[in-house]
Amino acid sequence: MAGKLTAPQGTGVLLVTANVGSLFEDPVNLQKTWLREFYQVIQSHKPHFLAVHCQEVGGKNYAESMSHVDSFVKELLSSDAMKEYSRARIYLDENYKSQEHFTALGSFYFIHESLKNIHQFDFKAKKFKKVVGKETCSETLENTPTLEKEKFPQDYFPESKWSRKGFIRTRWALADCAFDLVNIHLFHDASNLVAWEKSPSVYSGTRQKALGYVLDRITDQRYEKVPYFVFGDFNFRLDSKQVIESLCSTATMQTVRAADTNEVDKLIFRESDNDRKVILQLEKKLFNYVNQDVFRENNGTSLLEFDKELSVFKDRLHELEISFPPSYPYSEDSSQGKQYMNTRCPAWCDRILMSPSARELVGAVVYCIVTPHSRGLLRTFGFVLLPQMRNSFLIFLLC
């Protein structure tokens, strides 16, 4: 059913990606704010088909926080903002006791009551089925026929004893246009000091391997090839060595080693004059740069030359021009919503990417980021609208 879009006039498809780990650790404050912002997006754009890809569902302390996921889902399904969405498919990987399968991914799909002609693919039956009613699946997703879910092998990221990274794939047909939607979460930079050691970093190579695996998997010979959108938390980072050398080009570097192991504990970059002012202090989980404005001025686009990880896939993945500031790591303190935390170098971690065939569906385009004053918990949203004009997408990024 792959083909050009011939959706009914006025049909809109909204794609959203959000790393929601913090929501379930402070549901009273953060979740409430997140939902308010999310509902505003829905009410402003009124999509007919809504896909929400979430990462880190349940937060970092799964045993304590996973209980909050059910109330989050109930709120979404019962809210006034979502009352016109008569059909839903919700897939939650909540089984944190299954170390070999757990990804902490959540994929939410809502269909407006006015949209009649939408089908979902059954990967076991190898055919599309009409979407009826509301269903929530949260146990043994690897056996659910309407999706494919995989966790990356442990040897992809041996530093992590229990990695949650993986992907979930679903396939949809809107009128005579079929497309895949892939929820993805790639590996992070475990240490700023290790990331700094060489260019590109060892972490960049790990992400490259994992993303290549996903693309090979969703384009193999098992099923008909269709256009695909991959959106989620890619954890793409700026080339640490190159960006630090650029930011600290006139500085001198001091190396501080641990007394017991003699391993590098921190790097301190100081100005050569001006009382040897500290420009940057770098530790395993500290990136304390003297002037955060460089990441916000002109949307940080002067640093895009160091955003290189996607270039390896230039023949397989397309991204629209970035004209918004880095999406990570914004402060989780709602009173400092537009500040970055000093844990990592700001980077464009959260993205919406598409296959060349999906790019052919995209016409009129807007790709931007919106940062609410009360940002606190919201990492990134992205959405794609298919308005009444055939083959016309509008793509936004909301943070």
CB 378 within 8 A of CB 372: yes
> What is the number of other CB atoms lying within 10 angstroms of the CB of residue 192?
22
Q: What pLDDT score was predicted for residue 322? A: 86
Nearest-5° Cα angle at 99, 204 to 75 = 90
The list of the chain residues with pLDDT below 70 reads 1-11, 158, 160-162, 334-337, 362-399
Take residue 65 and report the two structure tokens written for it: 């926080």
Looking at residue 271, its pLDDT comes to 93
Strand segments (E) across 190-250: 228-233
Q: Could you give the CA distance from residue 302 to residue 294 in angstroms, rounded to a whole number?
A: 8
Helix (H) / strand (E) containing 269: strand 264-271
CA distance 148 to 126: 12
Cα–Cα distance between 183 and 309 in angstroms, integer? 18
The pLDDT of residue 394: 47
How far is CA 349 from each of CA 17, 128, 237, 323, rounded to the nearest angstrom?
A: 11, 33, 6, 14
Q: CATH homologous superfamily for 13-237+300-398?
A: Endonuclease/exonuclease/phosphatase (3.60.10.10)
Q: Per residue in 9-60, pLDDT tens? A: 446 778 888 888 888 877 887 788 888 888 988 888 788 889 999 999 988 7
Residue 391: its pLDDT value, please?
39
Domain extents in the chain: 13-237+300-398
